[in-house]
Amino acid sequence: MRIIWSLTLTLWISHQCFGSGFQKSSFNRHELHHCRQEAQSLFYHAYDNYLRLAYPDDELYPIRCRGRTRNVENDADLDRNDVMGNYSATLVDSLTTLAIMGDKDRFKKAIDLIRTDLEPEFKINATVQVFETTIRILGGLLSAHLYATDPAKRVFLGREYDGILLHRAHRLADRLLPAYLTKTGLPLPRINLATEYRNVPPGFLQENNAAAMASPMLEFTLLSYLTHDDKYRQVTKYAFDKIWSLRSEIDLVPMSFSPHTEMANNFYTGIGASIDSFYEYALKGAILFQDDELWNVWELSYNALRKHSRGDWFFSNVELMSGHEILPWIDSLSAFFPGLQVLAGDVPDAQKKHLMFLKLWNTYGGIPERWEFDPREFENNEQELNASYVPLPWYPLRPEFVETTYFLYRATRDAFYLQVARSILQDLKNYFMTDCGFAGLQDVMTGQFQDRMETFVLSETLKYLYLTFDVDNELHKDGSNVIFSTEAHPLWLKAADFKRYKSSSFFEDTRYRDHLLRVQQRDASLKSSNINRFFHDISNLLLYRARYPDRNSTLNRKGISTGTCPIMRSANDSFQFLHSDVIRHCERLFEIDYRYASNLRKPSKLIDRVPIELESSFYHIWGSQTSPLPKCQLPPTTDSFDVIFRVGWSNSKTPPNSQLSGVYGPIKDSITIESLIGVRLQVEALIPGAIDLHGEVVDADYLAYLWELNSPAALGFPNPGQDFKNSASNDPRRPIYRVSILNGIQLAHNATVWINSTLDTSPSALGMNHNGMLMLDKVPVVNALFKSMF
Ligand SMILES: *[C@@H]1O[C@H](CO)[C@@H](O)[C@H](O)[C@H]1NC(C)=O
Ligand SMILES: *[C@@H]1O[C@H](CO)[C@@H](O)[C@H](O)[C@H]1NC(C)=O
Ligand SMILES: *[C@@H]1O[C@H](CO)[C@@H](O)[C@H](O)[C@H]1NC(C)=O
Ligand SMILES: *[C@@H]1O[C@H](CO)[C@@H](O)[C@H](O)[C@H]1NC(C)=O
Ligand SMILES: *[C@@H]1O[C@H](CO)[C@@H](O)[C@H](O)[C@H]1NC(C)=O
Ligand SMILES: *[C@@H]1O[C@H](CO)[C@@H](O)[C@H](O)[C@H]1NC(C)=O
Ligand SMILES: *[C@@H]1O[C@H](CO)[C@@H](O)[C@H](O)[C@H]1NC(C)=O
């Protein structure tokens, strides 16, 4: 009797997505099914209410529960007017979420609304952002068109469908394309859909960012494939290529330009706001269009990023010419990047970078728009200090962290990511849901809500959540080249599309043909006059060193609660969900909590919230079976610094960033590089007692071993290893150097860097010892060896 009773209970509980039983996180198929349905019903809650209360307005006010429109009284209200073109934005942007859910009924009704209500020519008196309109509206229409016409999809409409979505997309593109008719070929940021530039204040057109200028290439190229009119591709690709050509010598792309002069407006870059989808579309464009040129852009730009901007846990902002770290913050938007790394095949690093955003979510109950990682202690009171780490404190329910979680789940099938997604789903339901929709936070510190539901909540956030749990979605079975646009619209092309496009594409529009010719001529003349249009000349620094602040950690090893639930397993979990390497084997799972303890400051009301990964019902099913507490690697206390070898790299036959192309770390034993020119090394100074980057305590024996291995006698140095062993004092000592990161790629403990060439120059700070070992400041770098010596 008892057994039967408990089985029944088990089944009942396991049917809940948010059940209170210990089974709730075992992620069997029933639970996934229910989480998926939960995501779907949250979507319907907002979508149906939008149609009922706000349509045909662009958005729904989730608190006031009525329509939200452009601000016609104040043109300068760009926050609103940039994204709301009076074209029922929420409806159009939601089309593909309906398609993904296989909801043919709502999908058809939405298309009917577009047919009857939407201004067919998009001749709307509204000045909007070209980029936002492209990704939300043009991309939404094109993707929905692909769904409606693909017999393999559940929402395939067959003869019922008249191509209306493609037709509308085509008309909209014609309204947006004039933004590219500038002297430089770079697009203006905004355009009036009815009048082009009549009555658009010049102040709205001065500056545009790299992402906004480069990205429309993807949607517009797809449009060319579908209409065979090649002007959309050629005009937007020209702008994409130009943005890439405006990169610095170390392949870093400025974030903002004047579209009138091509002058860069700033001297730093990163991966977040203003630049994000440049990288994204280089890679996704390469996949979608099978384009080697775009692949090359992705490879070089990713190499440059990981070399100069990749830190241990996040990509930081760096100066364009030198790669110096500046502006110590990370953007909420940059949470998309690990998802992109997954697509590129760099899963291990993506997993690390995802953890940083998880810790932000744990701390703030959302991802603040900007978070600062430089500790500071000067604020007067604790509240101000806490708030100072989130200078931009809002969280408008952005999708990027969910997106990355989804990609990582697809790549690893690790239950850890299901747990994260489930927890976010739960927060959407318990914290962010309103009577008619979802409201994000105006301030993560105060918990004040925002009466705003951007279209991406329905088109991205809820879509990625749904897809995470919908393990059998048709997108997951499909072997074709599906990519998600930056607005989460699935896009694909078939072999037949390529063929038809190749045989019948045309470019006849003289307005744009003449324009491209003029721009090309201008570029050629600028090039021949050899004017450096964009930057002051790069100083030919020999060697740049950035010292890292002492990483003397102030650890607080308490405060990790693991709950007291017994370890239980569900009777019939499907095999594929029965593992979590992250929770079981990631020894660095809690390193961020320690390292950034002073910056990750919870608002008081979240103090008792349990971190997602430690929720007891999850941790005790998936966590370590042997140790009750999570294992944790010690954060490093070694001093480390960066060295960049810059002399003459522009004459080197290997471009600086193509070395190690496609190598994703960590490097286990050894790696050979062509030369040191253009290489960036992070070097660790090993002294006894320090904890190194691998979390191991450096002991004197190990140093002595390294030292003997490398025969210091020949150099006339005392053997510090022996000194360490023989001395009990704490005198300052000569360290031994070891390369720990090479061009952004981690090296394993004992890995060796072999250098094919010899040193081109012999500046005093550099050298090579008799054993062929690289010397910096007369200190040998024990794992950097010149091959010519062997
Ligand atoms: C949106 O367009 C409709 C129809 O043209 C018009 O009546 C309405 O005033 C417009 N609303 C805004 C906010 O521009
Ligand atoms: C277009 O909208 C602007 C305000 O955004 C207004 O000043 C102007 O009169 C409108 N033009 C027409 C033709 O409706
Ligand atoms: C690291 O911390 C210890 C103990 O607080 C202190 O004695 C030591 O001086 C610190 N090291 C550095 C380099 O600041
Ligand atoms: C376990 O689940 C699988 C898939 O749902 C099913 O085929 C199988 O019969 C189940 N086994 C038991 C013992 O219930
Ligand atoms: C500031 O942050 C700390 C650490 O998270 C927390 O203990 C404290 O309650 C916070 N104080 C305020 C006023 O929010
Ligand atoms: C290093 O040199 C060897 C031959 O000496 C060559 O085969 C190899 O490709 C070189 N490696 C690199 C990375 O240049
Ligand atoms: C590194 O090399 C030392 C000496 O050969 C060896 O004892 C140690 O296990 C190695 N460490 C790793 C992580 O391979």
- Secondary structure string (H, E, C) spanning 232-285: HHHHHHHHHHHHHHCCCCCCCCCCEECCCCCCECCCEECCCCCCHHHHHHHHHH
Residues with CB under 6 A from ligand 6: 672-674, 756
Q: How do the residues of the chain divide into helix, strand and coil, expressed in percent and rounded to 5?
A: 45, 15, 45
Q: Per mean pLDDT, which range of 215-224, 391-400, 499-508, 540-549 is the poorest? A: 540-549
Query: Is the pLDDT at 623 greater than 70, yes or no?
Result: no
Q: Which atom of ligand 7 is nearest to the CA of 749?
A: 13
In this prediction, residue 595 carries a pLDDT of 80
Q: How many domains does the chain have?
A: 1
In this structure, which ligand is nearest to the CA of 666?
A: 7
Q: What is the pLDDT of residue 709?
A: 60
Q: What is the distance in A from the centroid of ligand 5 to the CA of 159?
A: 61
Does some domain include residue 783?
yes
The CA 573 to ligand 4 mean position distance, Å, reads 8
List the catalytic residues. Answer: 132, 276, 369, 400
Per-residue pLDDT band for 318 (boundaries 50, 70, 90) equals very high
| Ligand 7 atom 8: residue of nearest CA | 750
Would residue 309 count as lying in a domain?
no
Q: What is the pLDDT of residue 756?
A: 86
Position 478 scores a pLDDT of 67
**Is ligand 3 within 6 A of the CB of residue 552?**
yes
Q: What's the confidence (pLDDT) of residue 266?
A: 84
Residue 308 one-letter amino acid: H
CA distance 300 to 295: 9
Cis peptide preceding 391, ω within 30 of 0: no
Q: Ligand 7, from 709, 749, 782: best to mutate by most atoms within 8 Å of Cβ?
A: 749
Tell me, using a 6 A CB cutoff, whether residue 543 lines ligand 1. no
Q: Which two tokens stand for residue 554?
A: 């102030």
Residue 434 assigned as binding residue? no
List, for residues 408-439, the tens digit of each pLDDT value.
Answer: 999 888 889 999 999 999 999 999 999 999 99
**782 or 473, greater pLDDT:** 473
Give the closest residue (by CA) to ligand 6 atom 14. Answer: 674
Residue 250 vs residue 156, higher pLDDT: 156
**Mean local confidence (pLDDT), 12-35:** 59
Specify the pLDDT at position 629: 54
Q: Any idea which of 161-165, 644-648, 738-742, 771-775 has the lowest mean pLDDT?
A: 644-648
- Confirm or reject: Cβ of 750 under 6 Å from ligand 7: yes
Is the distance from CB of 419 to CB of 622 less than 8 angstroms? yes
Does residue 72 have its Cβ closer than 6 Å to ligand 1? Answer: yes
Four-residue CA torsion sign, 608, 609, 614, 616: positive
Mean pLDDT of the chain: 84
Cβ 243 vs Cβ 255: under 8 Å: no
Q: Ligand 5 site: residues with CB under 6 angstroms?
A: 382-383, 386, 601-604, 607
The answer as to whether 643 is a domain residue is: yes
Calculate what percentage of the chain has a pLDDT beyond 90.
Answer: 58
Looking at residue 2, its pLDDT comes to: 36
Task: Tell me if 84 is assigned to some domain.
Answer: no
Whether 752 is in a domain gets the answer yes
Residue-level pLDDT at 613: 86
Region 644-663: what's the mean pLDDT? 65
Is the pLDDT at 453 greater than 90? The verdict is yes
pLDDT at 109 over 70: yes
pLDDT at 312 over 60: yes
Report whether pLDDT(20) > 70.
Answer: no
DSSP 315: B
Cα–Cα distance for residue pair 75/144, rounded to 1 Å = 31
Q: Write out pLDDT tens, residues 30-55.
A: 888 889 999 999 999 999 999 999 99
Question: Atom 5 (ligand 5): residue with closest C-alpha?
Answer: 601
Confidence of residue 618 (pLDDT cuts 50, 70, 90): confident
Q: Do the domain assignments include residue 100?
A: no
CA distances from 458 to 311, 424, 462, 610, 766 (A): 33, 15, 6, 27, 56
Least confident of 56-70, 270-284, 312-326, 356-370: 312-326
Mean per-residue pLDDT, 661-680: 84
The per-residue pLDDT for 644 is 81
pLDDT at 569: 34
Residue 65: per-residue pLDDT:
98
pLDDT at 276: 97
Going by alpha carbons, the residue nearest to atom 1 of ligand 2 is 125
The helix or strand, by DSSP H or E, that contains position 361, with its residue range, turns out to be helix 347-364
Model confidence band, residue 700 (pLDDT cutoffs 50, 70, 90): confident
Residue 725 has pLDDT above 80, yes or no: no
pLDDT at 17: 52
Ligand (nearest to CA of 11): 4
CA of 154 to the centre of ligand 4 (A): 27
pLDDT, tens digit, 9 for 90 and up, residues 77-107:
999 999 999 999 999 999 999 999 999 999 9
Distance separating alpha carbons of residues 89 and 95, to the nearest angstrom: 10
* Ligand 6 pocket, mutate which of 756, 785, 786, 788 (most atoms under 8 A from CB): 756
Q: What is the mean pLDDT of residues 247-256?
A: 91
- Ligand 6 atom closest to Cα of residue 673: 13
Among 551, 552, 637, which residue has the most ligand 3 atoms within 8 Å of its CB, making it the best to mutate?
552
Least trusted range by pLDDT, from 246-250, 371-375, 458-462, 657-661? 657-661
What distance lies between CA 339 and its chain's CA centroid?
6
CA distances from 636 to 24, 547, 549 (A): 37, 14, 12
Parent domain of 645: 639-789
CA angle 404, 273, 339 (to 5 degrees): 15
Q: Ligand 3 in contact with 730 (CB < 6 A)?
A: no
For residues 409 and 417, the answer to whether their CB atoms sit within 8 Å is yes
Ligand 6 centroid to Cα of residue 346, in Å, is 24
Q: Which residue minimizes the CA distance to atom 13 of ligand 7?
A: 749
pLDDT of residue 663: 79
Give the tens place of pLDDT for each residue, 136-151: 999 999 999 999 999 9
Q: What is the pLDDT of residue 13?
A: 36
Highest mean pLDDT pick, 17-31, 257-271, 585-599, 615-629: 257-271
| Cβ contacts of 559 within 8 Å, gap of 6 or more | none
The predicted structure's pLDDT at residue 777: 76
Ligand 3 mean position, distance from CA 408 (Å): 38
- C-alpha 754 chain-centroid distance: 32
Atom of ligand 7 nearest to the CA of 705: 4
Is residue 739 scored above 70 in pLDDT? yes
Q: Look at 697 and 48; give whichever has higher pLDDT.
A: 48
- 193 or 533: which carries more pLDDT confidence? 193
Least confident of 147-161, 358-372, 739-753: 739-753
Residue closest by Cα to atom 2 of ligand 5: 601
699 in a structural domain: yes
Is the pLDDT assigned to residue 14 strictly greater than 80? no
Q: What percent of the chain has pLDDT over 70?
A: 82
Give the mean pLDDT of 611-639: 70
Q: For residue 776, is it within any domain?
A: yes
776 pairs with which residues across the strands? 766, 779
CB-CB contact of 531 with 254 (8 Å): no
Give the pLDDT band (50/70/90) at residue 228: very high
Question: How far is it, in rounded angstroms, from Cα 231 to Cα 730?
Answer: 71
Q: Are 297 and 220 in contact (CB under 8 A)?
A: no
